[in-house]
Chains A and B, each alone.
Chain A
């Protein structure tokens, strides 16, 4: 009964380092998402994948890349981390893009120094 699993839970990077956040879902959902949550800002969409094989930009895609590896897995990559990317990152999935609730993972807390 895992739902959406994100790794790692915590990460500290130095400016300029790269890393990949991993996400997997076991609900056979078609759509997957990456959000970031910052204090006082709510949840903002970085990238999404409406279905396997497709990815699209969200509200705040700059500095990030994504890969929909297969139906289960959707990764988020920071090629050259910046302090402005310090945030809590949430992966989510939903059955479809339209009018279906999102199921979220427990988040990755990333600090860039």
Chain B
């Protein structure tokens, strides 16, 4: 049962443009969401999080938006840079469990 879904497994974007990654969840008990970034042969690294009491959280070039009624969140990267090329995982936390999506591959073209 996939509680966190990331469709569109890969995304290519021109350097300087916006990257938008989407994530849908099914568990209404989730109250905290995170995005992780992963380079090949490395572990995931924490990028940004959002609590369910907020609908937006911003950290530099990264912004996460949460729409609780739609059970949907998105990650915006503006402007995209070549170093942003990685796999991005969305995760939801609730009921003492953290569930990860399958990941989105982002390629930023210089």
Q: List chain A positions with a Cβ less than 8 A from chain B.
A: 4, 40-45, 90, 92, 97-99, 101-107
Contacts and interface: CB of A to CB of B under 8 A. Distances in A.
Given A41-B102, A42-B100, A101 B34 contact: yes
Contact of B102 (A42, A45, A104): A42
A99 B45 contact: no
A43 B89 CA distance: 9
A44 B93 CA distance: 13
A101 B32 CA distance: 10
Interface string B15-47: 000000000000000011010100001111110
Interface of B: 4, 31-32, 34, 36, 41-46, 49, 51, 89, 93, 96-98, 100-103
A105 B4 CA distance: 23
A22 to B, nearest CB: 15
Nearest to B32: A99
B98 A45 contact: yes
9 contacts: A43-B44, A43-B100, A90-B44, A97-B96, A99-B31, A99-B49, A99-B93, A104-B36, A107-B43
Contacts of A104: 36, 43-45
A42 B102 CA distance: 4
